[in-house]
Structure 1
Amino acid sequence: MIKQVTLSLLAAGVLSACSLAPTYERPAAPVADAFPVQTAAGNASATGWRDFFPDQRLQLLIDAALANNRDLRIAALRVEEARALYNIQSAELLPALNATASGTRTRTPANLSLSGRTAVGSSYQVGLGLTAFELDFFGRVRSLNEASLAQYLASEEAARALRITLVAEVAKAYLAEQAFDEQYELARKTFESREAAYRLAKQRFEVGASSALDLRQNETLVQTARAALAALTRQRAQASNVLTLLVGAPLKDLPAAQRLSAQNLVTDIPAGLPSDLLERRPDIRAAEQRLRAANANIGAARAAFFPRIALTASTGTASNALSGLFESGSRTWSFVPQLALPIFDAGRNSANLDLAQVRNNVAIADYEKTIQVAFREVSDALVARSALEEQIDAQRAVLEAQAERFKLVDQRYRAGVSSSLELLDAERELFSAQQTLVQARLLRLTNAVDLYRALGGGLNEGAVK
């Protein structure tokens, strides 16, 4: 009889469970239907990062970062933590059965014994019990399980988002290191050239062939180049430290680095439509999972207003001797259903429901903001892409003009037509144009990396080169 009643109640609890959570509806994306710059439709996430970054040195750095970066390792552990919490919560959906065995010996003194003599008694019991299993008629446990599942999925998406960010940050740190290295080489060559010019100017001054003004102007250029060289030495070392931190381990025997002008990144990335970001970007998917969890918690808070039914039952055998545990007539059972109906809780349940609704509104705002940030990142990268291409072309033309100007002024100076001041000014402008072109190339490559990341690329590895 007890088994039939127990199974009937369990079946009723499972089949009749309803959810009091609001029906989930994805909020409308609070952004325009198109990006400010029209682009062809496509899927950036389909391009693996190995295809996007063909530089073999950079590929090895990204591989090492994905294996050693501590932030990524922590994120992976957070996923494991969320999975364990979900498994704990989902276990509440099923009853927990426990095998029990107990033995008791008692001594009753004569003055308390009905027979007037000291009595020693024994009791042994073996059984199977179910303790306080909640029959989830109003979906409280199920709503908590759905919330825990959504939190677990959100942690997985957050780990994917961090992976994309890590790939992009390693690439940007690597490109910055190469830019500082190129600028350092330009500064070093300029410093050596100006030192030689200063020594010549000093010799000319000592024999009276030039003025003290020419000497001081040459000295100024030497010290300016020296200061630039020292600054770039510091910046190059700091960029290397940033890259080492991202990679998570020092690496040796790497292939030679490519110059910025030789980096063959895919800069013409199709952006598609803003709605595509909802499926491409894991940070948006993570925000939506957090919203689903908040929505499910409302159902659990609503269910707290309704009766909670719990079931405790056990069956087994009992005897005053071990040898009689399994004899005929030793069977025992107990069945203890419990119903708890909230009557007065000083507003606790109402406050919990208000809290769940407020947190749901916060999750909606967080989801909408995540979409807006993603839209802005893509829009900024698209707007900058065409402008940076034009900027590089213009800066390259500036460099060519400054190089030709320096050549002509140097010829005129050697012929005694131009002054040393004009020559020094041409040299200074040429150095500035060289440094600016390197910086412009870095900006264009960084922009391509930012756009690739903003569109959700960086998860797939692509074909191994």
Structure 2
Amino acid sequence: MNRKKIIQGVGISMLFLLVSACGVPKLTQKEVNKEIPASYNSSRDTLNSATINWKEFFTDPHLNRLIDTALANNQELNIILQELQITKNEVQAKKGEYLPFVGLRGGAGFEKSGRYTRNGAVEESLNIKDEKTMPDPLPDYMLSAYATWEIDIWHKLRNSKKAAVMNYLSSVEGKNFMTTNLIAELANSYYELLALDNQLDIVQRNVAIQTNALRIVRLQKEATRVTSLAVRKFEAEVFHTRSLQYEIQQEITEKENRINFLVGHFPQHVERSNKNFDTLIPKKIHTGLPAQLLENRPDIKQAELELSAAKLNIKVAKARFYPSLGISAGIGFQAFDPSYLLKTPESLLYSLAGDLTAPLINRNAIKAAYSSANAKQIQAVYNYERSILKAYIEVANQLAKIDNLEKSYNLKAQEVEALTKSINIANDLFKSARADYMEVLLTQRDALESKFELVETKKNQLNALVDMYQALGGGWN
């Protein structure tokens, strides 16, 4: 008879399983496309500057000290490190879900049953002799251990834990991507600060040149060789150039404070190199092969891990359609008198039970979760493909920019040299009355603007170098 009941129970359970499994919706998943061009141009150089440590890539000791400080003190990076710890804790929590839960339970209380209830009638029937009457109210003391365990038949809990691990590793890559961006922004800000210093020096030298020219014009005015209009024009030019100093000084203050913010300092002077900015030569950078971006770029690796987590979440969501098997057990002591609590076997209690549960009707919430998990997987595929495309385009843009800026800088250097010589020519012609004062003023202004543009181009060259290092995925390792 017992065997027949067991067979019936198994049959009912199998029917339960079939009914649950038949209702899983069929959803189409999207496969990722990892195709990427074989090279950026005709070059197939396998050397990749992204593998160089930032301490070797950047040679300025002042910049390296700033980066070291930023990696320790930057608030945004430290916030991400705490988020990393949170995701690590989630992994630990998920790991514990597919292990048995064991606990201790103890309790004490009493119960007064009504006479005309089932328990009250039983107690009344047992009160045969006065000396053996049931206590009223009836005390109850218990001390026991219990355990519950969900058998992970469909790997729902294990896949959930694996997805948590993928999310944790994705967070690690997110931290690496943040590190790369922080180093790049700090390096760019440092080079911009050097450029501003250089522009301020150019302005100050031009103020001295224009002040000397103003002195000459005033002497010529006294000799009635020029009118007061020429004097006023030269004075206005000096005032204009001197006003540029304060604009640049304000930009220097803001740039220094931006650097201080990145390194976690309150406003203070930023130590920097004193050597001439125009002598800085951008390094030769090696782009390697586009396929190396998949390993070097933290944002691509982050997107790949997010995709893996999304695939596992689909399996977790799908497993919710199937029955879950839980086992519960307990063992302990229970008695109405504390003096009997540890007497065995009279006070001994134990239990063992298995539960098989499965959703049958109104599974809309489970279907919606499954559909959402599938949509997030498709979303993760597009995000991964977008990350690859974005990385390739960033490298291609910087590669073209470095080449074009090098050509532009060479031409602008020639322009500065020509305009610098033209200042002396214009001054000589003005002294001999063969050129008017406007030609001198325009020549000086053109020379000043060309020197500013040359410094700007040099800054752009250095920024392009940093941006290429960032685009290749360098800086985080």
Q: TM-score, normalised by structure 1?
A: 0.87
Distance in structure 1 (CA, Å) of the matches to 2:60 and 2:234: 41
1:81 aligns with 2:86: yes
| Counterpart residue number, 1:9 | none
Distance in structure 1 (CA, Å) of the matches to 2:192 and 2:98: 53
Structure 1 segment 64-463 matched on structure 2, within 5 A: 64-106=69-111, 114=124, 115=127, 119-131=136-148, 133-205=149-221, 208-250=224-266, 254=271, 256-263=273-280, 267-329=283-345, 330-345=347-362, 347-460=364-477
Distance in structure 1 (CA, Å) of the matches to 2:219 and 2:361: 100
Distance in structure 2 (CA, Å) of the matches to 1:381 and 1:253: 28
Look at both structures and tell me which one has the larger radius of gyration over its CA atoms: 2
1:262-313 alpha-carbon deviations (Å, 9 max, x no partner): 4465x21211111100000111111111111111111011111111222221
Contact 1:143 1:299 (C-alpha < 8 Å) held by counterparts: yes
Contact 2:36 2:291 (C-alpha < 8 Å) held by counterparts: no
| Counterpart residue number, 2:18 | none
Q: CA deviation at 1:454?
A: 0.9
Contact 2:328 2:352 (C-alpha < 8 Å) held by counterparts: yes
Q: CA deviation at 1:87?
A: 1.1
Contact 1:318 1:331 (C-alpha < 8 Å) held by counterparts: yes
Question: Which piece of structure 1 moves more, 217-226 or 339-348?
Answer: 217-226
Distance in structure 2 (CA, Å) of the matches to 1:237 and 1:254: 13
Structure 1's 155 and 419: CA in aligned 2 closer, same or farther, altered over 3 A? Answer: same
| Counterpart residue number, 1:6 | none
Distance in structure 1 (CA, Å) of the matches to 2:274 and 2:188: 14
Q: CA deviation at 1:202?
A: 3.8
Contact 1:37 1:379 (C-alpha < 8 Å) held by counterparts: no
Distance in structure 2 (CA, Å) of the matches to 1:341 and 1:55: 65
| Counterpart residue number, 2:65 | 60
The letter of the residue matching 1:224 is H
Q: Structure 2 regions of 5+ residues with no counterpart?
A: 1-23, 128-132
Contact 1:110 1:117 (C-alpha < 8 Å) held by counterparts: no
Question: Which piece of structure 1 moves more, 155-164 or 416-425?
Answer: 416-425
Structure 1 segment 16-35 matched on structure 2, within 5 A: 27-35=32-40
Question: Which piece of structure 1 moves more, 192-201 or 325-334?
Answer: 192-201
Structure 1's 252 and 198: CA in aligned 2 closer, same or farther, altered over 3 A? Answer: closer
- 1:99 is paired with a residue whose SS is strand
Q: CA deviation at 1:407?
A: 2.4
The letter of the residue matching 1:364 is V
Contact 2:326 2:356 (C-alpha < 8 Å) held by counterparts: yes
Structure 1's 458 and 24: CA in aligned 2 closer, same or farther, altered over 3 A? Answer: farther
Structure 1's 289 and 309: CA in aligned 2 closer, same or farther, altered over 3 A? Answer: same
Structure 1 segment 40-59 matched on structure 2, within 5 A: 40-59=45-64
Distance in structure 2 (CA, Å) of the matches to 1:327 and 1:313: 21
Contact 1:179 1:260 (C-alpha < 8 Å) held by counterparts: yes
Q: CA deviation at 1:324?
A: 3.6
The letter of the residue matching 2:379 is V
Contact 2:29 2:374 (C-alpha < 8 Å) held by counterparts: no
1:34-83 alpha-carbon deviations (Å, 9 max, x no partner): 21463621232321111111111111111111111111011101101111
The letter of the residue matching 1:353 is Y
- 1:417 is paired with a residue whose SS is coil
Contact 2:63 2:187 (C-alpha < 8 Å) held by counterparts: yes
| Counterpart residue number, 1:13 | none
The letter of the residue matching 2:184 is A
Distance in structure 1 (CA, Å) of the matches to 2:28 and 2:281: 48
Structure 1's 23 and 354: CA in aligned 2 closer, same or farther, altered over 3 A? Answer: closer
| Counterpart residue number, 1:10 | none
| Counterpart residue number, 2:16 | none
Distance in structure 1 (CA, Å) of the matches to 2:28 and 2:375: 17
The letter of the residue matching 2:167 is Q
- 1:119 is paired with a residue whose SS is coil
Aligned CA RMSD, in angstroms, stands at 2.7
Contact 2:174 2:298 (C-alpha < 8 Å) held by counterparts: yes
Q: Structure 1 regions of 5+ residues with no counterpart?
A: 1-19, 461-465
Q: TM-score, normalised by structure 2?
A: 0.85
Contact 2:100 2:147 (C-alpha < 8 Å) held by counterparts: yes
